[in-house]
């Protein structure tokens, strides 16, 4: 695709020795062109991606599994995500680069997560999305297997006003071998279609997927979705009609100024100790 | 308002270098008089205010947002509150001074919280109040969107016997731009009117506001309101009529001696490590 | 009061400088005999009492309030309990001695807890009891204000099979000044009568009282009562008839051998770091 | 049983000084042959067994009680399990060897757990099982005393699709002296029969038993059973028909590849700090 790649020098800080090395290559005489890197990435973005992994684990959204990706800032057909590793342990050295078919560009000995197709297929159809999170967000799971729609009751989760679809791997003709996991592009595409233009989709019996225009917003969406689910279950237990946040309110908040850097700083401090 | 301000010397301890510096000024020849400081403040009060922020975060009442203020001890038309910062991180250096229209007196480069109007408008109408807390107290949120009134079942929250009104920003004619947040004096005034002579008002889909004659009592009220909400949701789940604390019992406790310094000391030790 | 005191040397280990000084005295010629100490106490018992305070705080049964007492090993008409202090902070130096009317024998400047009458009045009528705990055990509070009796569903709480009465301070003709607190002997006596020959009594809107033949058993009872309450509330939420532990099973467990030292050691290690 | 035992040299690493020492003995002239050891064990298996104890305590499945065993790798008629000790405190030195009648081979002064018969009796009838866990898994207890069957709603617990029977010690003709505890082989056999070919059996009013082909899988099963119970109780509270994981899905997941080493590494790091 890129016939004349340049050598990109990974900018490396002590903590952020980015491992996305790009090897210049000759176009092969015949056959398929191997995918090429989107190029070097600002270490600050990698640091945010590492922080996102750790914050989401610290805040109880990610367990030993789940993953966070960002679209490559220079090449919309590439994304960056950690190798298969518990999110609380992720460092900059674990970040790998993928094409949108979720092939790793330079895997070395690093194992990719099974469900990376979630990310690639969403990036294909959602041009506005630059960050994707897949989690087993615990308070969210019950809403994927029951009949009450996930709707916002907490203003921090007002972004859910657009609706939260539920995806069931069986509706995607899940082959037996996939066993509820998004192990291939077909299942990833099905999930992306269910997500549509929304921000969050529940995955029945599994967890959710959260998308946003940037990784900090995606983290905020994921954590507030968990909080909202926890509070909504309590509200249902209290009983009576629930006074949800309305579409008008949600839309107004989407447009309003917010002081979101404040919470990112706190989460980062708690998760990274700095 | 104060035509002849004196230079107030901020009393500074190592941890408590109070940053409320007051610059003597000439009365301008014409036009509006700029607001003047209420004067220097006992570092012990600032320390209590800092402790309140950290205690409420430590005890799970405040998240990355929420804020605590105290009325200025020398000038009832001023109040003190941290700049926009996660409460667990607040130090004495972050405390700013405001007039009751919630204008900062000496902002320097410090950003004020968006919803400071909650504080200013309550101080205007509640002469008895010397401390205000706004929080997203998690167990409280469900009671703001359901139909069971918040009433006391735990004697530590008997002060709720006077009733807990629920404020909805829509009833205040919330302009779209405010988006559920108390971003201006009109919304703050509406909230203050709903609060009336009570101690706690719920804010639908948002959290609550707690007021008291001093900051230690406000912290105790806020924490026990969270505890009561948690226990009441469980009691509702158990079912049957609930044996609430009666008005007679609540009024008697209001008048009774309490050993409240004991719990403040513990909370402070846990939050500040001293 | 004591015309001829001798200096009593407190048996002191590093951590356990027991402050119960014993003053031998002459009977005064006329008038009321002041209460005399039950005598010196094995530091190991004081250490257990200190550990009990900290364990119960560590395990979430005691908050900033609540208290633990033991009957004096040498004098059944005396009991030992900490001064008014958050239980997590209690040390051997804080332990005071009381008569059964809950008068402190040597208060010095130490403040007694308001509700010490709970302890004195129970020791008066329950000769078998050598340890008393009063707590605000959080999961227990909802069972004091609802209609489902507290019964055991977890074998660790099988001792509840004898029944768990609920005491309401209003039934005791609570004077307005008492305000739900056991501030005098009359209220303590009423609570002791409601407790009867049981192990646990709930105090409506307040917490509970737990009694046992020794302090380690009392701690185990208090913690397992909290656990059972938490699990029972969940079981009620699941629905259907509940398969409680039967009287036959409870009685059998009362008589059976148990490996209780094991859990005490763990709790002590967690609470005291040793 | 083994007429010609060899001296097995315990392989000892610093942290893993395995204490299963086997003393060669003469066959007694008459009477019963004392049981002999299954021989030395790879320290890596002992380390996994120690880790399993600590992980399960760290993750809230085991409290002060509960126990984990592995079948002896060289002798299917022996199993290895800690002496009676809170699981969070277990070290390699605490591991003892038992025959399938749950007699300790070399107890020294070490006390065995009362309910070791759970392990021996299951190993007798389940040749496929190489690890057994007994716990008081808190979220599981309510499902043992109510009427909603434990079924999987979270894909991490899909292994529950085979069904989860509930064992009641009363159905086993529990003698009064046993008092709900599996204190003898008869009760252990009854429990093993109720378990049948399943992976998990609930023990009414008590906890559960979990079995697997290896100790890492058993730990994963136990933790995910706790998670599933917690989420299922919430789902029931939300209401409506529950979309459980189907038999087809569960069977497919049983056969599918999983990245299970990843979670074991994380749990071990959290529990052992390495």
- String of DSSP letters for C95-143: EEEEETT--BSS-TTPPPPTTTHHHHHHHHH-TT--EEEEE--TTTHHH
Distance, CA of A101 to chain centre: 16
CB contact under 8 A, B253 and C84: no
ipTM score here? Answer: 0.88
How much is the average pLDDT of B32-60? Answer: 93
How much is the average pLDDT of C125-149? Answer: 98
Nearest to D262 among A64, A146, A177 (CB): A64
Q: Chain B contacts of C142, Cβ < 8 Å?
A: 153, 231-232, 234-235, 238
Helical pair A43-58 and A215-238, crossing angle rounded to 10 deg: 20
CB contact under 8 A, C262 and D88: no
How much is the average pLDDT of B15-41? Answer: 55
pLDDT of residue C174: 74
How much is the average pLDDT of C254-265? Answer: 90
pLDDT of residue A107: 93
Q: Which of D115, D121, D248, D249 is catalytic?
A: D115
Closest CA to B178 of A252, A31, C227, C151: A252
Render the burial of A135-171: b for 16+ CB within 10 Å, e for the rest. bbbbbbbbbbbbeeebbbbbbbbbbbbbebbbbbbee
- The mean-pLDDT minimum among C6-15, C60-69, C133-142, C228-237 falls in C6-15
How much is the average pLDDT of B173-195? Answer: 90
Q: Chain A contacts of B144, Cβ < 8 Å?
A: 243
How many residues in total does chain C contain? 274
Do residues A206 and A141 lie in contact, with contact meaning Cβ atoms separated by under 8 Å?
yes
Closest-approach residue (CA) in chain A for B175: A252
DSSP C200: E
Give the C-alpha separation, D243 to C101, whole Å. Answer: 61
Distances (CA, A) of B72 to B5, B37, B39, B96, B135: 16, 9, 8, 11, 21
Distances (CA, A) of C88 to C14, C50, C104: 19, 9, 22
Query: How high is the mean pLDDT of chain C?
Result: 88
Q: What does the pLDDT look like over D223-274, one tens digit per residue? A: 999 999 999 999 999 998 999 999 999 999 999 888 899 999 999 999 988 6
Q: pTM for the full model?
A: 0.89
CB contact under 8 A, C269 and D89: yes
Chain B: give the shortest CA distance to residue A189, in Å: 35
Nearest to C142 among B238, B266, B269 (CB): B238
pLDDT of residue A223: 98
Q: How many other C-beta atoms are found inside a 10 Å radius of the C-beta of residue D170?
A: 14
Give the C-alpha separation, B82 to B78, whole Å. Answer: 14
- B→A contacts (Cβ < 8 Å), by residue, are 63-65, 84-86, 88-89, 111, 113-114, 136, 138-139, 141-148, 168, 170, 176-181, 204-206, 233, 236-237
Give the C-alpha separation, D28 to D7, whole Å. Answer: 18
**C226 is known as an active-site residue:** no
DSSP C57: H
Residue A110 or residue D2, greater confidence: A110
Q: Chain A contacts of B64, Cβ < 8 Å?
A: 262-263, 266-267
Closest-approach residue (CA) in chain D for C254: D179
CB contact under 8 A, C154 and D237: no
Q: Chain A contacts of D239, Cβ < 8 Å?
A: 146-148, 236
- String of DSSP letters for D67-89: EEEEE-SS-TTEEEEE-SS-GGG
Sign of CA dihedral C43, C45, C51, C57: negative
DSSP C152: -
DSSP D18: -
| Confidence band, pLDDT 50/70/90 cuts, at residue B267 | very high
Strand pairing class (C95-99; C78-82):
antiparallel
pLDDT of residue B7: 27
Phi-psi region of A31 (alpha: psi -120 to 50; beta: other; left: phi over 0): left
| Secondary structure (3-state) at D209 | strand
Q: B118: Cβ–Cβ under 8 A, 6 or more apart, which residues? A: B132, B134, B182, B188, B191, B209
pLDDT of residue D257: 80
Q: Which of B47, B59, B97, B115 is catalytic?
A: B115
Residue C262 or residue D34, greater confidence: C262
Q: Which of A115, A248, A249, A257 is catalytic?
A: A115
pLDDT of residue C10: 26
CB contact under 8 A, D262 and A114: no
How much is the average pLDDT of C121-141? Answer: 98
How much is the average pLDDT of A245-260? Answer: 92
Tokens of A36: 């090429």
- A→D contacts (Cβ < 8 Å), by residue, are 63-65, 84-86, 88-89, 111, 113-114, 136, 138-139, 141-148, 168, 170, 176-181, 204-206, 233, 236-237
Nearest to D84 among C243, C245, C259 (CB): C259
Residue C10 or residue B36, greater confidence: B36
How much is the average pLDDT of C66-77? Answer: 98
Task: Inform me whether the pLDDT recorded for A163 exceeds 70.
Answer: yes
Render the burial of C134-163: b for 16+ CB within 10 Å, e for the rest. bbbbbbbbbbbbbeeebbbbbbbbbbbbbe
pLDDT of residue B273: 83
pLDDT of residue C33: 66
Nearest to B259 among C84, C138, C233 (CB): C84
Give the C-alpha separation, B74 to D98, whole Å. Answer: 76
How much is the average pLDDT of D58-71? Answer: 97
C to D CB pairs, distance under 8 Å: 103
Q: What does the pLDDT look like over A197-225, one tens digit per residue? A: 999 999 999 999 999 999 999 999 999 99
- The mean-pLDDT minimum among A68-72, B264-268, D229-233 falls in B264-268
How much is the average pLDDT of D99-122? Answer: 96
Nearest to A262 among B86, B142, B144 (CB): B86
Q: Percent of chain C at pLDDT above 90?
A: 81
- C→D contacts (Cβ < 8 Å), by residue, are 152-156, 158, 227, 230-232, 234-235, 237-246, 248-249, 252-253, 255-257, 259, 262-263, 265-267, 269
- A→B contacts (Cβ < 8 Å), by residue, are 152-156, 158, 227, 230-232, 234-235, 237-246, 248-249, 252-253, 255-257, 259, 262-263, 265-267, 269
- D→C contacts (Cβ < 8 Å), by residue, are 63-65, 84-86, 88-89, 111, 113-114, 136, 138-139, 141-148, 168, 170, 176-181, 204-206, 233, 236-237
pLDDT of residue D251: 95
Q: Percent of chain B at pLDDT above 70?
A: 87
Do residues D160 and D200 lie in contact, with contact meaning Cβ atoms separated by under 8 Å?
yes
Do residues B156 and B89 lie in contact, with contact meaning Cβ atoms separated by under 8 Å?
no
Task: Inform me whether the pLDDT recorded for B24 exceeds 90.
Answer: no
Give the C-alpha separation, A166 to A146, whole Å. Answer: 10
pLDDT of residue B32: 60
pLDDT of residue A232: 98
Q: D258: Cβ–Cβ under 8 A, 6 or more apart, which residues? A: none
pLDDT of residue B178: 83
What backbone torsions phi and psi does residue B241 show, to the nearest 5 degrees? -65, 145
Please report all neighbours of B, defined by 3+ CB atom pairs within 8 A.
A, C
Q: What does the pLDDT look like over B107-117, one tens digit per residue? A: 999 999 999 99
Dihedral (Cα; A87, D261, D88, D127), 10-degree rounding: 150
CB contact under 8 A, D153 and A145: yes
Give the C-alpha separation, C92 to C40, whole Å. Answer: 13
Residue D76 or residue D258, greater confidence: D76
pLDDT of residue A33: 66
Task: Inform me whether the pLDDT recorded for B33 exceeds 70.
Answer: no
pLDDT of residue C32: 60
CB contact under 8 A, C259 and D147: no
CB contact under 8 A, B154 and C205: yes
Q: What does the pLDDT look like over B225-238, one tens digit per residue? A: 999 999 999 999 99
Q: What does the pLDDT look like over A216-251, one tens digit per residue? A: 999 999 999 999 999 999 999 999 899 999 999 999
Task: Inform me whether the pLDDT recorded for D27 exceeds 50.
Answer: no
Tokens of B270: 């846990």
């Amino acid at each position: 695709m890129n016939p004349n790649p340049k050598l990109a020098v990974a900018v490396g800080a002590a903590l952020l020795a980015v491992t996305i090395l790009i090897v210049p290559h000759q176009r092969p005489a015949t056959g398929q062109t191997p995918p090429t890197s989107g190029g070097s990435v600002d270490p600050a973005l990698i640091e945010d991606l590492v922080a996102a992994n750790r914050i989401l684990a610290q805040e109880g959204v990610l367990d030993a599994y789940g993953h966070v990706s960002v679209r490559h800032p220079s090449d919309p057909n590439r994304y960056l995500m950690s190798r298969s590793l518990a999110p609380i342990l992720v460092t900059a050295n674990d970040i790998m680069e993928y094409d949108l078919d979720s092939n790793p560009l330079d895997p070395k000995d690093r194992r990719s997560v099974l469900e990376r197709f979630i990310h690639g297929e969403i990036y294909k159809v959602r041009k506005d999305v630059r960050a994707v999170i897949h989690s087993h967000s615990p308070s969210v799971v019950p809403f994927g297997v029951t009949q009450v729609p996930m709707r916002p009751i907490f203003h921090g989760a007002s972004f859910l006003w657009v609706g939260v679809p539920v995806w069931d791997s069986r509706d995607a003709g899940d082959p037996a071998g996939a066993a509820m996991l998004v192990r291939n592009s077909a299942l990833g595409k099905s999930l992306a279609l269910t997500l549509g233009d929304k921000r969050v989709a529940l995955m029945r019996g599994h967890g959710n997927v959260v998308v946003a225009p940037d990784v900090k917003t995606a983290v905020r969406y994921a954590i507030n979705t968990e909080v909202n689910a926890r509070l909504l279950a309590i509200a249902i237990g209290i009983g009576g009609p629930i006074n949800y946040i309305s579409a008008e309110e949600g839309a107004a908040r989407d447009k309003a100024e917010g002081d979101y850097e404040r919470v990112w700083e706190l989460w980062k401090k708690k998760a990274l100790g700095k």
